[in-house]
């Protein structure tokens, strides 16, 4: 970025130019006649000529010493570095080799296929979705800033997995307008699957601004790039079941209230839904929000209960289970509509396939474009105590349970999706129950973190002879 700054008027070089002519002003100032002095017409004429010459030479000197006007920005020939708010998001991009990689990754390999920019591709859902799209022949380019909200080795592992199937994950930030413009310039994406976000409810108590940066400012930057792109892509993005907040009407339907969020995370997702409406309304962007309900599965997120319960149970550490005031005077443990990642991915893919076109071009709307919102859940909430029972069975270890009253940290006591709209319009039918899905998660977890235990549990995949080899030689698909 530095070379561009040097060309901007008012920068160091220009200031240096002004400094160079300044002493001359002082010099002539000392030679000015006193104000009360009366002069003859001839002397006035000669003074006028003298000052004209001086002014012209000063102007000439200024022009010669000033830096040239900034040239229009050319495409970077060598990699660029951008630094964004997140400490771990120093990125490097650009150059002919980089563009070639981007194009190859986004190249469509089936007739009628899409070219999809998947943001958050090194994330949990993103890596599964990118792999699924790639498997069926869509062109897929990933974008992720690999931030350190949780173990970056896991993100790098997912990106390595995608690389093996031909998907390149660009290391960059969704708030980097210049990078986004470049990506849309290099590839005429038909779709964006926007999954990059600051996820997790509780972390907002520690770093609230990270939610605003990624989920509000980042979303706006992405939508700005999408509306300016030609052609405009259709955008499908992850909202969250958390937008239902204090809603008590169950199961949660898309028509229920979403104006009482219980966490900052939920508030930023709700803000995202409103912002998306603006871009649909003004610019004709086709927009689909998917409200995911507690997604779990292999390559999952370490900040989620099913993941850290597994870790703590294996380590013999106590796990904390929240209970909330239920109906009447009795206590109930919190329940979640746990949804297996493959079902979520099917919903994402169906949303991409059914997304109507954006109608804008050159930043102007040419007609109404689709604006849709769907719940993607499993439709069968399970109490967290039952989740722990299942984990104990699969891990063959008894959990040390500590049941405490739910603190006011943003969690809600209960989630339950009504998915009839997604079923009707997307053909969405979740098909993995919690026991089956958790078994797949535990198998992956043991193979990735404890290959020796996986052997003992006889959970190692053997059907295709391609079982995972642990952290560094992870399994061959994102399943
Ligand atoms: N997993 C769930 O249970 C769940 C539930 C509801 C909604 N969601 C939403 O689904 C999406 C995917 O969630 P996930 O579980 O895969 O989370 P994740 O944290 O694993 O994935 C998000 C990815 O986005 C990246 N990212 C964050 N900020 C970025 C930025 N500014 N620029 C570029 N990349 C950035 C992160 O590095 C991460 O790899 C998120 O939008 C999340 O809010 C997830």
Mean pLDDT for back-to-back runs of 10 residues, the chain (479 residues): 28 30 30 35 47 44 36 47 47 91 98 98 98 98 98 98 98 97 98 98 95 98 96 98 94 96 97 98 97 98 98 97 66 87 98 96 87 97 96 97 87 92 98 98 96 75 44 45
Pairing of strands 80-82, 91-93: antiparallel
At 117 the three-state DSSP class reads strand
Sequence-distant (6+) residues with CB within 8 A of 38 are: none
* Confidence (pLDDT) at 452: 87
Cβ pair 199, 265 in contact under 8 A:
yes
Alpha-helical (H) ranges within 71-217 are 96-106, 124-135, 152-164, 177-186, 208-211
Sheet of 139-144, strands arranged across: 168-171, 139-144, 115-119, 191-194, 234-240, 287-292, 371-376
Kindly report the backbone phi and psi dihedral angles of residue 289, in degrees, each rounded to the nearest multiple of 5, phi listed first: -100, 130
CA distances from residue 195 to 214, 225, 321, 394 in whole angstroms, order as listed: 11, 16, 29, 30
Q: Write out pLDDT tens, residues 297-345.
A: 999 999 999 999 999 999 999 999 998 765 444 457 789 999 999 999 9
Active-site residue, 265 included: yes
CA distance 299 to 302: 9
Write b or e for each residue in 85-103: b if 16 or more Cβ atoms lie within 10 A of its Cβ, otherwise e.
bbeebebebbeeebbeebe
Phi/psi for 372 (5° steps) reads: -130, 155
- CA–CA separation, 177 and 94 (whole Å): 14
Query: Which alpha helices (H) appear in 31-95, and where do they start and end?
Result: 41-65
Residue 473 pLDDT: 42
CA distance 151 to 173: 18
For domain 81-295+338-378+409-431, say whether CATH 3.40.50.720 is its number: yes
User: Could you tell which of 124, 245, 300 is best to mutate to test the pocket of ligand 1, judged by most ligand atoms within 8 Å of the CB?
Assistant: 124
Alpha carbon of 29 to ligand 1 centroid (Å): 65
CB of residue 313 inside a 6 A radius of ligand 1:
no
pLDDT given for residue 65 in this prediction: 38
**Count of CB atoms situated within 10 Å of the CB of 180:** 24
Question: Other CB atoms closer than 10 Å to residue 312's CB: what's the count?
Answer: 16
Q: Is the shortest distance between the CB of 378 and ligand 1 below 6 Å?
A: no
The Cβ of residue 385 has, within 10 Å, a number of other Cβ atoms equal to 16
What distances in angstroms separate CA 163 from CA 110, 113, 140, 146, 194, one per listed residue?
Answer: 19, 20, 11, 15, 19
Quote the ligand 1 centre to 52 CA distance (angstroms). Answer: 66
Probe residue for ligand 1, chosen from 196, 297, 374 as the CB with the greatest number of ligand atoms within 8 Å = 196
Q: What is the pLDDT of residue 470?
A: 53
The Cα–Cα gap between 216 and 474 comes to: 34
Say if ligand 1 is within 6 A of residue 200 CB.
no
> What is the distance in A from the centroid of ligand 1 to the CA of 126?
8
Q: Helix 124-135 and helix 341-354: axis angle, to 10°?
A: 60
Which atom of ligand 1 lies closest to the CA of 84?
31
Instruction: Report whether residue 413 contacts ligand 1, using a CB cutoff of 6 Å.
Output: no
- The owner of tokens 């900052």 is 264
What per-residue confidence (pLDDT) applies to 5? Answer: 26
DSSP classification of residue 288: E
**CB of residue 294 inside a 6 A radius of ligand 1:** yes
Ligand 1 binding pocket includes 174 (Cβ within 6 Å): yes
Residues in the chain: 479
Task: State if residue 265 touches ligand 1 by the CB under 6 angstroms criterion.
Answer: no
Catalytic position from the list 265, 414, 428, 448:
265
| Dihedral over Cα of 160, 353, 351, 279: its sign | positive
Q: What is the pTM of this model?
A: 0.81
The DSSP string of 189-209 is: -SEEEE------SGGGGT-HH
Atom 37, ligand 1: which residue's CA is nearest?
A: 146
């Amino acid at each position: 970025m530095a070379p561009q700054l040097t060309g901007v008027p008012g920068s160091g070089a220009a200031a240096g130019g002004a400094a160079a002519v300044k002493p001359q002003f002082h010099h002539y100032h000392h030679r000015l006649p006193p104000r009360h002095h009366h002069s003859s017409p001839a002397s006035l004429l000669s003074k006028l000529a003298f000052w004209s010459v001086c002014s012209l030479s000063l102007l000439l000197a200024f022009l010669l010493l000033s830096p040239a006007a900034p040239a229009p920005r050319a495409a970077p020939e060598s990699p660029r570095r951008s630094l964004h708010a997140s400490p771990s998001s120093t990125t490097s991009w650009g150059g002919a080799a980089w563009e070639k990689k981007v194009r190859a990754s986004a190249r469509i390999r089936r007739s009628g296929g899409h070219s999809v920019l998947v943001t958050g591709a090194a994330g949990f859902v993103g890596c599964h979705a990118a792999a699924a799209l790639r498997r069926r022949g869509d062109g897929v380019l990933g974008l992720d800033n690999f931030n350190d909200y949780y173990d970056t080795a896991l993100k790098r592992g997912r990106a390595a997995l995608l690389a093996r199937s031909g998907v390149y994950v660009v290391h960059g930030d969704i708030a980097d307008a210049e990078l986004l413009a470049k990506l849309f310039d290099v590839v005429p994406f038909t779709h964006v699957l926007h999954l990059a976000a600051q996820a997790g409810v509780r972390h907002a108590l520690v770093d609230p601004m990270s939610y605003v940066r990624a989920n509000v400012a980042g979303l706006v930057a992405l939508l700005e790039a999408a509306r300016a792109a030609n052609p405009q892509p259709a955008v499908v993005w992850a909202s969250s079941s958390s937008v239902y907040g204090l809603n008590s009407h169950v199961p949660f339907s898309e028509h229920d209230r979403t104006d009482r969020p219980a966490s900052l995370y939920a508030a930023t997702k709700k803000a995202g839904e409103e912002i998306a409406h603006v871009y649909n309304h003004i610019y004709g962007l086709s927009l689909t929000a998917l409200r995911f309900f507690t997604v779990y599965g292999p390559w999952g997120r370490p900040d989620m209960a099913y993941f850290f319960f597994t870790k703590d149970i294996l380590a013999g550490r106590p796990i904390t289970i929240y209970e909330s005031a239920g109906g009447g005077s009795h206590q109930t443990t919190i329940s979640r509509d746990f949804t297996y990642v493959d079902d979520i991915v099917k919903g994402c893919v169906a949303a991409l396939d059914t997304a109507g076109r954006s109608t804008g071009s050159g930043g102007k709307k040419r007609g109404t474009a689709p604006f849709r919102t769907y719940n993607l859940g499993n439709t069968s909430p399970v109490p967290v105590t039952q989740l722990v029972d299942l984990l104990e069975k699969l891990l063959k270890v008894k959990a040390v349970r500590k049941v405490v009253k739910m603190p006011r940290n943003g969690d809600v006591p209960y989630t339950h999706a009504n998915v009839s709209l997604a079923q009707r319009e997307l053909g969405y039918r979740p098909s993995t129950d919690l026991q089956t899905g958790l078994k797949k998660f535990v198998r992956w977890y043991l193979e990735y973190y404890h290959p020796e235990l996986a052997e003992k549990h006889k959970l190692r995949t053997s059907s295709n002879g391609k079982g995972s080899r642990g952290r560094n030689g992870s399994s061959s698909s994102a399943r």
